[in-house]
Structure 1
Amino acid sequence: MENYIIETSNTVEEWNSKLARILIPNNVILSLYMIAGLVGNSAVIFIYGFKMKGNKIKGNKEERYFIPFLATADLCATLVCASFGIAQNIMQATFDNEPLCKTWWFFAGFTTLISVFFLVVIAVHRYLKDCKPLGKQMTLRWKWFALGLCLVIAFPLAGPMTHFYGSESFLNEEMKIYGRRCGRLSTTNKTSSLIFGGTLVLTAITIIIVLICLYSKVGYTIFVHFKYTKVVGNHNKTEHSRGGVSSGDDPYSKSEMSSFETLETPTAGMSSVYFTQTTTQQTETPVNIEVREKHVPKQSSRKRRRNKRIVHKFTLMFMLITVIFLICYIPKVIIMLLEASNTKFWEGFSEAGRSAVSFVYRIYILNNVTNPFIYAFLDKKFSEQIKKLIKSCTCK
């Protein structure tokens, strides 16, 4: 032991500078993450939270309700995680501030978990709207409760990070010196470390499975909807060719239209089958009318189809966000599992290898950066407001 230099010295500083130079490309990427996340998510919060608030802009407010909350979580996660990654890269062997290290780990875990849990709440919301449109939906009170529950669950999951992560010394056998880095502590009990790591991995896997299951059902429902919409379109063309077009917005008779409209909502259950069976009847019993009034909103068929298209469009948007989340987080989950089983995981790589693994490990931040660009691409109202905002800024 006496042959090694324990104190932070010029030799350690030189070693740290060498490690930091190798990680400069990572720092450039993390800086881009931070800038894009700051600008993009701030624009989302401003536009969805203020410009589209209330009735200032016509549109489906219900579909955009969770977007400002998700953007806030993404903004915090991007700033905390990206800045933390840069600090770790710069102080690869000289991160000796224990309180700062533990605090950064906690907030990195806390903000990331909140963002992920918000995606689960959104998935449940989309499932209810698309697959159970006639059932109970999330009221404003339940939405606030769900968001609050995300904070409550994220806190105890992130809290133990202050125990298992911190500033720890590690050896450079070639130079025979010790440095200090901010990472998982090898001094903690291995069993408890595995339990904690396993809990985080199990939570991540559970979330991934839940998201896949919910959006699989949603995707199937949308597929069925578009399938029957195509049937309605073909029927419309047939009626036009025959000259049998009824007056008003609907090209079908009332009995025919009720059948197709109900088919657009496959989750209507028995009422869907009941309407289909009565399409050939010329008269309606009071029971038929009662069921129709209960399950079909009193709107024009064109407006109902337009609203359903809006619902499906936003659902597809959130599905794309979830797919990007899965792509970005699966590598992190795998590395977390390996890190939990081997406390010297990072020491087993060469300097170039550590740089590559660090990039893969932090690619999850991209999930918090890309969402504003998805909104801009798929939400016409948002893109219009972005153009107006840019125009007003350039004119000043």
Structure 2
Amino acid sequence: MASSTDADILLSEQHSKQLLPNTVLDLIAGAFGFFGNGIVLLMYTRYITDKSGTRYFIPILALVDLIGCVSSVSSFHLDNTMRYVYPSENLCKSLFFLIIVSGGFSAHLIFAIALQRYLIICRPFGQQMTQRYRRIAVLAIFLFSLGYAAPLLKFAGLKETGKRYTEGNDTQKISVSFCYFDGGSYGSRVMLPYFGTLLLLSFINIIATSGLYIPVTKTIYKTLSPFNGAAYRVNNLQDEETRVTSTDDHSSSFEQAKITEIPRQDLTKRTNCSEPQPTACRESNHKQQTRRKLSIMFLLIIVVYVVSYLTSLITQIHTFVTGIRLTGYRLNINFFFLRFNLLNHIANPYIYWFYDVKFRGELKKLCCRRLQKNSFDL
């Protein structure tokens, strides 16, 4: 008969074999997330300058996603491979804390991005997010996320439970412990209100973010139609506003008021390609295309966030309500959807690569310089 310690190890090995497909997927996803977010951080800290503030949140989001990716994948891997012989209670607390902080920070930061795009696209002559407001937003989001994640440093721990272990014809019930949100000292009276509040905050953030970007999406759709004259006038007005607010976050309301007084006919003439101003026309069209691509890029980031978090939340609620014990491929599928919010930390940098022309151009230049340097060294 195996000892209690040996049984823990054997149970962990059985659990690890059962979740091997999920473990492989998590490690592959973690590698993609680490590489992608690392490249974004490198580019935005050393090679790309953002004078207008349009991309202000991108490097911050990349840093948060990098932390979230590393902490989530580390926690998932340990839970899959060392479930009943977890290395340390402090490690358990730290990883859960980092997962909640990074997940909340990322989600609320995406809400801030949605708000920024809404003000730029739908309220171009209203109050915009200046450098000061953007910094205040990041600090407030960080403190808020830190506040509701901090209790996990106390709640989380190694929870003890009984498990049946079968060896040959003998079955024994052994006591095992695994990393859990509640170490067992607080119970449902504390944990249900806490996680209920987290779920409610997540749903509110998803609804608010989606609500802000719905009118932005409508505006983008209008501007993509070449037969919509009104949409072109909106773009022209926004381009004029961008020339003032993007170059100087402290532009006066008097300057913005002057722009609104420009006759629409003049704006149409200045951006009409039939006029003898081909260079100005090309510049105007390029700005419009860049703005649309950035808006579509942020739209995809928000869609990925909403889909990934909703999938995880719905799976969590279903698992909690049903309490059905799953095995085999069903267990792997359940864990896959339960951890689907990891996609939010992974997908963002690759969306930048596809849609952000400036980012892609600078990355291409950097790669070319590296290749030339290596060829000269040889």
Larger Rg, first or second structure (1 or 2): 1
Q: Find the counterpart in structure 2 of residue 89 from structure 1.
A: 80
- RMSD over aligned CA atoms reads 3.1
Aligned counterparts of 1:334 and 1:163: Cα–Cα separation in 2? 26
Q: Secondary structure at the residue paired with 2:178?
A: strand
Q: Does residue 359 of the first structure (1) align with residue 336 of the second (2)?
A: yes
Q: Secondary structure at the match of 1:230?
A: coil
Q: Distance in 2 between matches of 1:95 and 1:290?
A: 63
Aligned pairs for 1:270-281 (under 5 A) are none
Give the gaps of 5 or more residues in structure 1.
55-59, 233-258, 268-288
Deviation at 1:197, TM superposition (A): 1.2
- Aligned sequence identity (%): 24
Q: Does residue 1:226 correspond to 2:224, yes or no?
A: yes
Cα deviation, 1:329-386, whole Å, max 9, x if unaligned, reads 11211233356668xx4x7223543333222211211211111111111122222222
TM-score, structure 2 length as denominator? 0.80
Query: Is 1:77–2:68 an aligned residue pair?
Result: yes
Residues 225 and 266 in structure 1, CA contact (< 8 A), matched pair in contact too: no
| Residue aligning to 1:376 | 353
- CA shift in 2, pair 1:201/1:69, >3 Å: same
Across the two proteins, how many residue pairs are aligned to each other?
337
- 8 Å Cα contact 1:20/1:91 also seen in 2: yes
What's the secondary structure of 2:193's corresponding residue? helix
Q: 1:81 to 1:39 in 2, by over 3 A?
A: same
1:181 matched to 2:158? The reply is no
Deviation, 1:50, is: 1.7
Output aligned runs, 1:285-304, within 5 Å.
Answer: 292-293=261-262, 300-301=270-271, 302=281, 303-304=283-284
| 1:321 equivalenced with 2:321 (yes/no) | no
Amino acid of the structure 1 residue aligned with 2:178: R
Out of 118, 127, 143, the residue aligned to residue 109 of structure 2 is 118
- Provide the C-alpha distance between the structure 2 equivalents of 1:102 and 1:224, rounded to a whole number of angstroms: 49
Listed as ranges, the matches of 1:179-218 within 5 Å are: 179-185=176-182, 186-218=184-216
Give unmatched runs, 5+ long, in structure 2: 167-172, 239-257, 272-280
Q: Is 2:332 the partner of 1:332?
A: no
- Aligned counterpart, 1:26: 22
> Aligned-pair distance for 1:314?
0.6
Change in Cα spacing, 1:196 to 1:291, as seen in structure 2 (3 Å) is closer
Distance apart, 1:141 and its partner CA: 0.2
Match of 1:244 in 2: none
The CA deviation string for residues 234-254 of structure 1, in whole angstroms up to 9 with x for no partner, is xxxxxxxxxxxxxxxxxxxxx
Q: Secondary structure at the match of 2:162?
A: strand
Following superposition, the deviation at residue 32 of structure 1 comes to 1.4
Amino acid at match of 2:201: T
- Measured in 2, the distance between the counterparts of 1:290 and 1:324 equals 36
Name the aligned partner's letter for residue 70 of structure 1.
L
Q: Which amino acid aligns with 1:382?
A: F
- The structure-2 alpha-carbon separation of the partners of 1:260 and 1:45, relative to structure 1 and needing over 3 Å to count, comes to closer
When residues 28 and 392 of structure 1 are mapped into structure 2, their CA distance, relative to the original with a 3 A threshold, is farther
Q: CA deviation at 1:78?
A: 0.6
* Deviation sequence 1:123-157 (CA, Å, 0-9, x none): 00000000000111100000000011110110111
Structure-to-structure mapping, 1:339-354, within 5 angstroms: 345=323, 348-350=325-327, 352-354=329-331
**Deviation per CA, 1:220-270, whole angstroms, max 9, x where unpaired?**
12223334x5244xxxxxxxxxxxxxxxxxxxxxxxxxx886444799xxx
Letter in 1 for 2:24: V
Number of the residue aligned with 1:37: 33
| CA displacement, residues 186-224 of structure 1 (integer Å, 9 cap, x when unaligned) | 542313211111111111111111111111111112223
